[in-house]
Amino acid sequence: MHPTLLMMTTTLLIIFTLLAIPIISTLSPQPLSTSWPLTSVKTAVKMSFLTSLLPLFLFLNEGTEAIITTWSWMNSYTFDISISLKFDLYSILFTPIALYVTWSILEFASWYMHSDPYISRFFKYLLLFLIAMIVLVTANNMFQLFIGWEGVGIMSFLLIGWWYGRADANAAALQAVLYNRVGDIGLVLAMAWMAMNLNSWEMTQIFTIAESKDLTLPLMGLVLAATGKSAQFGLHPWLPSAMEGPTPVSALLHSSTMVVAGVFLLIRLSPLMEGNNTVLTTCLCLGALTTLFTALCALTQNDIKKIVAFSTSSQLGLMMVTIGLNQPQLAFLHICTHAFFKAMLFLCSGSIIHSLNDEQDIRKMGGLHQLTPFTSSSLTLGSLALTGTPFLAGFFSKDAIIEALNTSYLNAWALVLTLLATSFTAVYSLRVVYFVTMGLPRFTPLPPINENNPSVINPIKRLAWGSIIAGLLITSNMAPIKTPVMTMPPLFKLAALIVTVIGLLLALELALLASKQLFMSPKRSPHLFSNMLGFFPTLIHRLPPNLSLVLGQNIASQTIDLTWLEKVGPKASSTLNLPLITSTSNAQKGAIKTFLMLFTLTLTLVLLTLL
């Protein structure tokens, strides 16, 4: 075998082995040492990251992609399923990034969760999640992807409900599972359609055969799956609720890796979507609506983690818009750069929360620039990267997306919404930075502010480096498959920047307005709409389930049972027969009158027939 290919496949299989070793070591009856999370799990992830750099460099140097098919799992006469790993551009680039981010988060989690008695189990769950995510990303057939999909869903449930004594956490975990389940229906629909019409779940075969068929139904199923997993509008409330989980969970699952799984699915199967304009328009409009709506909700939230969660949701909407523009590679670029700064934002939030003794309300923070300079600087850096400040990580992906949106002949409404959401991004980012780092402290004195621990500093530092240079590195090394439009009017080229700066200035103006009173009383309704998340959870979480359950109870159990018992079955025969029986026995009472009446009747009849 060619040495490059040998090195590639060996290292890729080593990654899986390294990640599986800590899990297998938990199966032994010996109790784990207290330093097991750090010495075993974090080391495994760090080693896997370093190992995964080798395939990355091989790919960048020679362009080798590999498909490894190891084990024939189920083979019937007409349908084969085997374990098949695909290492193309997307998975080779995503795996090191995911491992890097996870390494930083695990190191942070060893500080954040160090007082938790079940910290080993926490790390085990995080590692299981990582393995499921890598299985999802490297899947070459739909079955393996589905295994990874469900795996990340389950680990998300277990991790969101980590502090299960809290009712809100249980409700949030249940919300996550239920909303993901609705999306899973779409995925199963697509898989069933593919099994029936394309006779395979292998991606290469799907791409070859599906040219000639009408793919609207499975693609709509995939869009539904992405809506559930990536929290697009309609199935989005679980993502802000998922902030009930510990901050490392939010950083890993709900910013970098799990929520991008839906978008990743669409990117993987993007060759199927290229010709189908209906599905592309659906993605475009859904993404635009999501990004604007969640950015709107983020404007008035007071919990720092919820603001970052809505920011994630908004960026996911932007990724969906990119897919709707038929630019999967740009969406993937945004996934990669977004992972860095979003994870960093979450880690900074976690550091701030712990430093202020578990205070999460930004109205009770302030002045942290003097008190936690490193954390506030990285918070500012992350926010700048998020808004797309030139030449930080977010700029390369976000600006490219806005340029592609501006120069394509597509839905102008989606364009307007996306630009508006971009300006809102600047507004809420400034709001976070203003309330958290600037001004005078608004918390009680003597909080345990301490950012001297290297387990806090080093992860944030690593992710900060990533937020600065990742965009440049990836765009320099990744050859674009579709040629981007290079010439456009200067207004289009600067559109993202102008809109962001306008948002920034507006936000500054609003922030400084807080010390003046322009109106007698505040206008409640716009603020209320945004703060209550557009009343979406309020309306959807109680009324439709109640109606469905009542309908189910009335129709399914009561009416149908009633019908079968009383109208069709045993009681019906009795109620139908009873009048007949009564009238017959009434006529046969042995009364003389009846006899005589019958006598006259028959006589009359005979006479009539004779005459």
Contact between residue 271 and residue 326 where contact means Cβ atoms under 8 Å apart:
no
| Other CB atoms within 10 A of residue 511 CB | 17
Q: Nearest approach, Cβ of 602 to other proteins (angstroms)?
A: 11
And the tokens for 326? 């038929």
Q: What number of residues does the chain have? A: 611
Q: Nearest approach, Cβ of 596 to other proteins (angstroms)?
A: 4
In degrees and rounded to multiples of 5, residue 591 shows phi and psi of: -85, 140
Q: Nearest approach, Cβ of 567 to other proteins (angstroms)?
A: 31
Whole-angstrom distance, CA of residue 334 vs CA of residue 316: 9
Q: Nearest approach, Cβ of 592 to other proteins (angstroms)?
A: 5
Q: Give the nearer residue to other proteins in terms of CB position, either 521 or 600.
A: 600
In degrees and rounded to multiples of 5, residue 72 shows phi and psi of: -75, 115
Binding site for other proteins (CB under 8 A): 585, 588-593, 596-597, 599-600, 603
In degrees and rounded to multiples of 5, residue 275 shows phi and psi of: -90, -10
Q: Nearest approach, Cβ of 575 to other proteins (angstroms)?
A: 23
Q: Nearest approach, Cβ of 577 to other proteins (angstroms)?
A: 17
Q: Which amino acid is at 374?
A: F
User: Hey, which residues does 68 pair with through a beta bridge?
Assistant: 85
And the tokens for 423? 């300006």
Query: 108 Cβ partners below 8 Å, 6+ apart?
Result: 248, 251, 347, 350, 455, 456, 459, 460
And the tokens for 442? 């608004």
Half-sphere exposure at residue 338, Cβ-oriented, CA atoms within 13 angstroms = 30
Q: Nearest approach, Cβ of 605 to other proteins (angstroms)?
A: 13
Q: Helices 304-324 and 277-298 sit at what angle, rounded to 10 degrees? A: 160
For β-strands 66-75 and 80-87, DSSP reports them as antiparallel
Q: Give the nearer residue to other proteins in terms of CB position, either 517 or 600.
A: 600
Stated as kind and residue range, the H or E segment containing 80 is strand 80-87
Q: Which amino acid is at 81?
A: I
Q: Give the nearer residue to other proteins in terms of CB position, either 115 or 585.
A: 585
Whole-angstrom distance, CA of residue 400 vs CA of residue 404: 6
Contact between residue 58 and residue 8 where contact means Cβ atoms under 8 Å apart:
yes
Q: Nearest approach, Cβ of 603 to other proteins (angstroms)?
A: 8
Q: Give the nearer residue to other proteins in terms of CB position, either 490 or 590.
A: 590
Q: Nearest approach, Cβ of 576 to other proteins (angstroms)?
A: 22
Q: Nearest approach, Cβ of 590 to other proteins (angstroms)?
A: 3
Q: Give the nearer residue to other proteins in terms of CB position, either 523 or 589.
A: 589
Nearest to 39 by CA among 117, 105, 107: 107
Q: Give the nearer residue to other proteins in terms of CB position, either 357 or 586.
A: 586
Q: Using the Cα atoms of residue 50, residue 339, residue 169 and residue 231 in order, give the sign of their dihedral.
A: negative
Q: Give the nearer residue to other proteins in terms of CB position, either 479 or 592.
A: 592
Q: Give the nearer residue to other proteins in terms of CB position, either 549 or 601.
A: 601
Q: Give the nearer residue to other proteins in terms of CB position, either 117 or 590.
A: 590
Contact between residue 194 and residue 201 where contact means Cβ atoms under 8 Å apart:
yes
Q: Give the nearer residue to other proteins in terms of CB position, either 562 or 603.
A: 603
Whole-angstrom distance, CA of residue 109 vs CA of residue 100: 14
Q: Nearest approach, Cβ of 593 to other proteins (angstroms)?
A: 6
Q: Nearest approach, Cβ of 581 to other proteins (angstroms)?
A: 12
Q: Give the nearer residue to other proteins in terms of CB position, either 600 or 609.
A: 600
Whole-angstrom distance, CA of residue 364 vs CA of residue 345: 18
Whole-angstrom distance, CA of residue 335 vs CA of residue 316: 8
Q: Give the nearer residue to other proteins in terms of CB position, either 76 or 585.
A: 585
Nearest to 205 by CA among 63, 80, 72: 80
